Chain A
Amino acid sequence: MDVGRHPKIKLLAYSEIEEITGYIGNFHVKVRKKARYVDEIACTACGECVKVCPVVKPDEHQLGLATRKAIYIPFAQAVPASYLIDMEDCLGNNPIACGACAEVCDPRAIDYDQKDEILELDVGVAIVATGMDVCDPTILDEYRYTKYENVITSWEFEILTGPGYVTRGELLRPTDRKVPKSIAFVQCVGSRAERRGNPYCSNICCMNTIKDTLYLKEHHPEIDCTVFYMDIRAFGKGYEELYKRSKEVGVKYIRGIPGDIVEDRKTRNLVLTVENTTTGKIQRHEFEMVVLSIGVIPRPDTETVQRLLTLSKAADGFLMETHYQLNPIDAPTGGVFLAGCCESPKDIKASVIQASGAASRAETLLSAGKVKVEAITSEVIPDLCKACGICVDVCPYGSITVDRKAKTPASIVEAACKGCGTCGAECRFDALRMRHFTDDQIIAMIDAMFEERPEEKVCIFACNWCSYGGADLAGLSRMQYPPSGRVIRTMCSGRVAEKFVWHAFRKGAPVVLISGCHFADCHYIDANRWTQKRVEKLWDKMEQKGIRPERLQLEWISAAEAVKWTRVMHAVEELRKTVTREEIEETMRILSEEKGK
């Protein structure tokens, strides 16, 4: 409401972003403002139109538990408080088939000729706060959600107990419209499940259930409430106290998740079979209603948002921040910030904290009017650039432009460049120089590495964010692994050019390992995909030259995978032992002769 009234905030409701171009400080956004067919300024939200509209549809906001008309306000607190016509539901506007809403509208707000508008905006920063969705309980058939009416989800429970909704806050059992005498809450439905649902904890369900049980006990102390759980996660300020209060008012907690629910056909009551993991005994409990505490999942349109703003997505499908601990608000793309559940499941308090942080980060940038960029960025050497455009194709941030037809050298928007170095690795003409990780610097490191006893060393390229962190953690954890590995750190595995690998073999490397982030964790959106493509090409070329492809290894190791790092170090050491001095010399001869040609 405050946002809608704020003189400096322009709210574009019922609108979708179609395109975003540009970079930090200079984004250009195309927005489709959908036709409402109601003048939102003239509409007084009197509701006369709803009374005469003949079309009745399930109300999506109330999960189909109530109905709405073709002309409606999506939900009670919607901003602006103005009606809209869903033209797919309306009997028609061309020609006007009904027109009842227009006839009764005193302010003459109905406009059947309204069209979608395309708005173009120039903005300096973007905050993504697209929220989340909830898990579909139908994938977990043991809870019989689709079979028994009295099994509902926690979201439906909110609708059935909300004062602004269909039952006006009175909880009624779906089959007999009576207040239930007993209710079971089943936790972790779709969460913390490796095989079905999602492996992560949805963060909010425990406290939501505790809140629901307190609400029930406050309004209906006679209702018997039981919560079936794996373990209650009441981690926030005041949460443990709420949990205790819930137990004090008589809510029972049973440690165990039901394996089956069966309905008594006569009473429509539900019998839950559960292993009580505290006692180790199988128990049966009968309830009049069951509430499934469903988990949180990323919105289905996350990929669209990801594409529009060139963001990264983590393995769980939520948008990825620049750094989990040290930079949890910034997206990898400069000038883009994340707030709320689009980044990970979180409660209202955490969402408000992150949103405040995002607003503050945005305001800091906008008020400064200029931005400090990373020192590690690419630069073009115009004399060497042939305007082939490969760098444009591989840049995850779209920070490079080139006019292929005019053959003008590439140019880089340094404010948008994040320094992965993929462009430098792919450029065949050495026309891109990666500051602080130049070709000369990396070649010099390889030279130094193989100055003495090259046959005893494994050349390892490790990315800064994940694999190098994994190696660091292995060291900190005092994990033991062979000392033959020599690490060259690059910001991204995408920086490892073919020539570095050839140079290492030419200098006598028995084995080369390239290690980067897992695909879902790449800190440069998708730069490590280019690493894999490049390594695949290298394997083919090695085979053609008579060099065993096995001598080039590729591994994805995260900063938390110290154990994997250690395992890989042992594996590459075993591989190194299989490479004879003769094989190394033969490789050096092949590559030196080729270079001579």
Chain B
Amino acid sequence: MAEEVTFKCLRCGYTYKGTYDRKVPEERECPKCGSNSVRPLPKGKGD
């Protein structure tokens, strides 16, 4: 099920909120630097 999470770019460190569904993978791209190393932070980490 989709949930609101914080994404963190593991290249430039930029964080942003977005929806995340573990079962429906989507190609992600950091809005700031364009890297695909965008990590959905575990609950409580980026809040």
Residues of A within 8 A of B (CB): 518-520, 529, 532-533, 536, 539-540, 549-550, 552-556, 568, 571, 575
Contacts and interface: CB of A to CB of B under 8 A. Distances in A.
Contacts of B42: 540
B11 interface: yes
Contacts of A520: 27
Given A540-B42, A549-B10, A518 B22 contact: no
Contacts of B26: 519
Residue of B10, B25, B36 with most partner-chain A CB within 10 A = B36
A533 B27 contact: no
A520 B27 CA distance: 9
16 contacts: A519-B25, A519-B27, A532-B27, A533-B22, A533-B25, A536-B39, A539-B10, A540-B42, A552-B10, A553-B10, A553-B11, A553-B35, A554-B36, A555-B36, A555-B37, A556-B27
Contacts of A540: 42
A518 B27 contact: yes
A554 B37 contact: yes
Interface of B: 10-11, 22, 25-27, 35-37, 39-40, 42
Top 6 nearest A-B pairs (CB, nearest first) are A529-B25, A519-B27, A550-B10, A553-B37, A555-B36, A554-B37
B36 A556 contact: yes
Contact of B11 (A518, A519, A533, A571): A571
A516 B25 CA distance: 14
A595 to B, nearest CB: 25
Given A536-B40, A552-B10, 9 more contacts: A519-B26, A533-B22, A536-B39, A540-B42, A550-B11, A553-B35, A554-B36, A555-B36, A556-B27
A528 to B, nearest CB: 9
A529 B25 CA distance: 6
A529 B23 CA distance: 10
A571 B11 CA distance: 8
Contacts of A555: 35-37
Contacts of A536: 39-40
B40 to A, nearest CB: 7
Contacts of A532: 25, 27
A74 B7 CA distance: 52
Contact of A539 (B11, B35, B39): B39
A533 B42 CA distance: 14
A552 B11 CA distance: 10
Given A536-B40, A555-B36, A555-B37, A575 B11 contact: yes
A568 B10 CA distance: 13
Nearest to A551: B10
Contacts of A550: 10-11, 37
Contacts of B36: 554-556
Contacts of A552: 10, 37
Nearest to A564: B34
B11 to A, nearest CB: 6
Contacts of A575: 11
A575 B37 CA distance: 13
A532 B23 CA distance: 11
A529 B28 CA distance: 11
Contacts of B40: 536
Contacts of A518: 27
Contacts of B37: 550, 552-555
Nearest to B33: A571
A519 B25 CA distance: 9
B22 to A, nearest CB: 7
A470 to B, nearest CB: 13
Nearest to A540: B42
B28 to A, nearest CB: 8
Nearest to B23: A533
Contact of B39 (A533, A549, A571): A549
A575 B27 CA distance: 22
A477 to B, nearest CB: 20
A554 to B, nearest CB: 5
Nearest to A529: B25
Contacts of B11: 550, 553, 571, 575
Contacts of A549: 10, 39
Nearest to B28: A532
B33 to A, nearest CB: 8
B20 to A, nearest CB: 10
A553 B11 CA distance: 8
A532 B22 CA distance: 10
B38 to A, nearest CB: 8
A241 to B, nearest CB: 44
A552 B40 CA distance: 14
Contacts of B22: 533
B32 to A, nearest CB: 13
Nearest to B10: A550
Nearest to B13: A550
Name the residue among A519, A554, A556, A568 with the largest chain B CB count within 10 angstroms.
Answer: A554
A118 B27 CA distance: 39
A539 B26 CA distance: 17
